[in-house]
Amino acid sequence: MTEKTNTRSFSSFADLAKAIGSTPADLRREYLDKAVADSFRDETTSDAFHEAFGDVGALSILDIGEGPQELEMPEPADAQAECSAIVTTIFDLFRNTRLEPSAQAIAWGIVNSFHYEAEKLAREEDTLCRDLKDMVGRDDRSEIFATEMDDLQLRAQTKMEQRAAIECMRDYAAECYRAQTGRPWSSARGSKVSSATTASQIASSDFLKARATALREKRNPTGPIVVFSGGQEWHDYQQIYDRLDQIKTRIPHMTLCTTGQRKGCDAIAAAWAAQAGVPLVTFAPQSQRYGKSAGFKRNDQLVNLRPVEAIVCQGTGIQSHLLDELKKASVPTHAFRYDGQAPAPTETKRTAWA
């Protein structure tokens, strides 16, 4: 006796539609709607996600001792959509509730998690590349050595692809954070080096060392330098964005150097750099070394870089000193007074806790 199975075959589209309770027109409409949605989703996915998630090798090695595997990356459109959802869902969930004041702190932590992971992957990538460089310099022609070097190169390539993807998600999550809060996201500490399609935020000690040795690498921006500094209390970000846009139009390959504060003017400039794809170098004062004069020593460092242009927003005596030193060095400088800002936006629930 032949057992009856759940598998059925259909000879026409109409039969299939009848079996699932839909008309052929309904199925065609559903198919077209999905095709349009998929097409729109793909077209609105940024180039950064297409580059980070789509341009990868066929094989990968995730860890030492493992063999090559054919592992796919997430779809670029899915990665961008979910990255946005991770951040915006927190604000949507907490908005107009007693938890609303916590939304910004939690969203900041989400972006910082991407940043922390990107830094970890970058360190692992650097270690693998150093090991690979050492192997290239060894005179060993054995087959075992060649296999080990191929595997190490593939591990380094995989780590680079992982790092680029997480950096891409971090930068996009930071943009979502800024869109929700009206304030730019900045890391708590450390350097921020993004892929070629995004900004590069580099610790000043690394930058000066690379500059001294004339290394033409990612951690050594070589474009004309524009110096930026301002106080920690500033609300008119559009004023700063407009002037930086004007400078970038004149100096397309500029490198922006700031005084490294995590809020106020410097944070606004950092957000602009991320959006404009401009390398950003942060010069934090070395307080442990210079004590109370650290800020003035940092100003001297900035002036000694021989910037081609500068922006200084009113802040403390540190900004006043920097403005004077830039003028003495004949650097074209744009100075903004605190009372020259546009009126502050009306305080709402969203801006109140931001």
The answer on 262 and 216 residing in a single domain is yes
The answer on 223 and 137 residing in a single domain is no
| Structural domain containing residue 164 | 27-185
pLDDT at site 27 = 54
The per-residue pLDDT for range 104-150, each reduced to its tens digit, is: 999 999 999 999 999 999 899 888 888 887 887 777 778 888 788 88
Domain-located, residue 16: no
Written as six digits, the tokens of 64 are 């030492």
Return the SS3 of 297.
Answer: helix
The answer on 305 and 267 residing in a single domain is yes
The answer on 227 and 106 residing in a single domain is no
Higher-pLDDT residue of 76, 354: 76
The per-residue pLDDT for range 7-43, each reduced to its tens digit, is: 555 555 556 555 656 665 665 666 555 554 454 445 5
pTM over 0.75: no
The answer on 118 and 31 residing in a single domain is yes
What does the DSSP assignment read for 242-289? HHHHHHHHH-TT-EEEE---SSTHHHHHHHHHHHHT--EEE----HHH
> How many angstroms separate the Cα of 157 from the Cα of each of 123, 125, 138, 147, 151?
13, 8, 21, 15, 10
The answer on 305 and 234 residing in a single domain is yes
- Read off the CATH number of the domain in which 239 is found: 3.40.50.450
- On whether the CB atoms of residues 284 and 297 are closer than 8 A, the answer is no
The answer on 284 and 148 residing in a single domain is no
Domain-located, residue 261: yes
The per-residue pLDDT for range 228-279, each reduced to its tens digit, is: 999 888 888 899 999 999 999 999 989 999 887 878 898 899 889 888 888 8
Q: Of 157, 185, 213, at which residue does a domain stop?
A: 185
pLDDT at site 209 = 53
173/34 Cα distance (integer angstroms): 26
Q: How many domains does the chain have?
A: 2
The answer on 205 and 181 residing in a single domain is no
